Amino acid sequence: MNRWRERGRSAGPAAGHSGARRGSNGHGGGRGVRGERRADLIRRLRATQGRGRKLRGLIELLRPYRGRVTLMFVSLVAATGATLAPAPLAALAINDGIRHNSMSTLDLIVVVFLFAALVQWAATALQTYLTGWVGQRALQDLRLRLFEHLQTLSIGFYSRRPVGVLVSRMTNDVEALDTLVSDGIVTLFQSSLTLLGTIVILFIFDVQLALLTCLIFPLIAGASFVFRLMSADAYRRTRETIGAITAYLQETLSGIRLVKSSGQEHRHLRRFAELNEENRTVNMTTVYLNAAYFPGIELLSGLVTVGILVYGGIQAINGHILVGTVVGFVLALNNFFDPIQQLSNLYTTYQSGMAALDKIFELLDEQPELEDRVDAVVLDRIDGRITFDDVSFAYGSGEGAVRALTNVSLDIPPGQTVALVGETGAGKSTFAKLVARFYDPTSGAVLVDDHDLRAVTAESLRSQLGIVPQEAFLFSGTVCENIAFGRPYATEEEVANAARAVGAEPFIAALVDGYDTPVGERGAQLSSGQRQLIAFARALIADPRILVLDEATSNVDIHTEGLIEQGLRRLLAGRTAIVIAHRLSTIRGAGRIVVLDHGRIVEQGSHDELLDVEGHYWRLYRDWARQAAA
């Protein structure tokens, strides 16, 4: 545990969940200037509505670094000017130096040429550094903002959106945007300046030759327009197909045990191959377009160069134009066609980046279903009284709404343990979700200590709420880190006491590195019962005032359940607890049992009282007893 404790101390407030939440809400000291900038970024991005929104959104990403962006463009202009210098310098060297046997003129031109090369080297180096610096900072802000935004979205959002698609937004789409920001913007301005500068130089060299060169503009413009129309949809579909691949990969690897135990590897392989084929087909569309367009521009460049050589050569032979002018014109043609190709290539990057930015905007546009009110109250330490005041709740809305609770009224005094029982779909888990304010009731009100949960801050409620689900989720890390997740500054002794109290210490002591043993992704190195014991210890060390156990003992065998029964009583002592369980021992120990049926409370009372009336609970208990005996 020493290694983990040292890491925990050095990590600061962000090392634990509670600290991270404080930072995101602006109550902690770790937010700082960059945190304020990220908080403002989402408002500016959402304000860029309508036509041209994506481009304005891109500009908003760079706004915080406008000083360095300005310096980057200054260096870009200097580098472009130095790049354009060789053609006119070569023409001067031939016409004024070599042709007139003037060594002084030739020496001066060589010095200027070397100076231009040094300027190009220094300006390009500075521009490359600044482009990378600004691009990485802007995308760092965007990634952090996306992650922070994902933390604010409600549970319902994650039930609708595959995790793999969200991962694709944070990785594939941000990478595509990275290419656009780091390379695309520089290419756009540098190539445009180079093209305009080259056109000016060509007209200075010779107006007739320049006009002949410009005759190809309509052909290039037409080809570029057709290329743009045909490639726009293809690049949008590439973002969608790669998102689908990422989502299916994440889902398959998460359920790999079920896939292998069911012998369904071939079926999953076939489905993945289908998605992969769809992605290949869409990408091949862009390959065909690129293969037709870019070589065509190369061929056109070669034909124009041949034409200029023939026409310019004849003019030079007839004495109508200087040889150096023809040489300089041909050299400048490289700076004419190269920017056209680069701008055409940029359109590929632009389409991919804009499609990615569109997907990112779509995610940023998601509004949290539950947000703290402006005047939300911060709860002090609560007693734990829970009141359901005529609560009804339905998942969804309109005709497709699924009613889960109907006119539920219940008052749970502080410190009481209430067991919720009922058949599958009776509304037990929904009841618990409303207490945690994962959802707001459709009608009625849920109150804690007479505070409507809609009028309190979510952080102040959930910091005093502990939930142990049926499937305990563990993060990659050590046993100790997972136990102390809800209380990152817990001491080694507190971690050990919590594990001991719930009966987890014997199996932890048997592990190779004890509390420093890595649990693997999602706790894969441990059994389901061991993961559940760690979840109990994690809940105990956080010391919640309200505790929700959602089928928390279903993955614990009878022997293990006996070991933790005493620890469970300690966990529940002095806390308001809502227990959803089918285990008879857990139900019998509850202070009150509430029976739900189709979203309504049909019975409530103690174990003995409900058995005496021989109603819903009596029938459920009889069936459970028969299963337990079997």
More confident residue, 479 or 3: 479
Q: What is the CATH number of the domain that holds 333?
A: 1.20.1560.10
Residue 521 clears pLDDT 70, i.e. is over it: yes
Whether residue 449 has pLDDT greater than 80: yes
> pLDDT tier at 28 (50, 70, 90 boundaries)?
very low
Residues 355 and 487 in one domain: no
- For residue 148, the enclosing domain spans 40-47+54-364
Euclidean distance between CA atoms 479 and 490, whole angstroms: 13
**Domain-located, residue 346:** yes
Can you give the length of the chain in residues? 630
What CATH number corresponds to the domain at position 491? 3.40.50.300
Contact criterion met (CB below 8 Å) for 480 and 4 = yes
Q: Of 99-108, 122-131, 243-252, 478-487, which has the strongest mean pLDDT?
A: 122-131
Q: Is residue 265 part of a domain?
A: yes
Residue 8 has what pLDDT?
42
Question: What's the confidence (pLDDT) of residue 5?
Answer: 44
396 in any annotated domain? no
Does residue 5 form part of some domain?
no
Asked if residue 490 and residue 351 are part of one domain, the reply reads no
pLDDT at 310 over 60: yes
Of 504, 527, 543, the last residue of a domain is 543
Report the pLDDT value the prediction gives residue 33, as an integer from 0 to 100: 45
Domain final residue, candidates 527, 543, 559: 543
Mean pLDDT across 244-270:
74
Q: For tokens 């992605």, what's the residue?
A: 279
- Average pLDDT over all residues of the chain: 77
Give tens-digit pLDDT for 97-148: 777 777 888 888 889 889 989 998 999 899 888 888 888 888 888 888 888 7
> Does any domain span residue 347?
yes
| pLDDT score recorded for residue 30 | 40
In a domain, 92, yes or no: yes
Q: Is the pLDDT of residue 20 over 70?
A: no
The residue with greater pLDDT, 215 or 74, is 74
- 104 or 389, greater pLDDT: 389
pLDDT at 122: 93
- Are 156 and 439 in contact, with CB atoms under 8 Å apart? yes
Distance between CA atoms of residues 519 and 336, nearest Å: 60
Query: In terms of C-beta density within 10 A (0-12 exposed, 13-18 middle, 19 or more buried), how is residue 366 classed?
Result: middle
Question: Sign (positive/negative) of CA torsion 528, 530, 536, 539?
Answer: negative
Token reading at 135: 């691009």
Residue 108 lies in a domain: yes
Confidence of residue 92 (pLDDT cuts 50, 70, 90): confident
Per-residue pLDDT of 394-443, as tens digits, reads 887 767 678 888 898 999 998 888 888 888 888 888 898 888 888 888 88
User: Roughly what angle, to the nearest 10 degrees, separates helices 558-572 and 528-542?
Assistant: 10
φ/ψ (deg, to 5) at 413: -70, 160
Token pair, residue 113, equals 């040429």
Looking at 345, 364, 383, which one is the last position of a domain?
364
**How does pLDDT run across 191-202, given as a tens digit for each residue?**
888 888 888 888
Domains of the chain: total:
2
- Is there a single domain that holds both residue 64 and residue 194? yes
pLDDT reading at 375 higher than 80: yes
Residue 160 lies in a domain: yes
pTM given for the model: 0.61
- Quick one: average pLDDT of 198-213? 84
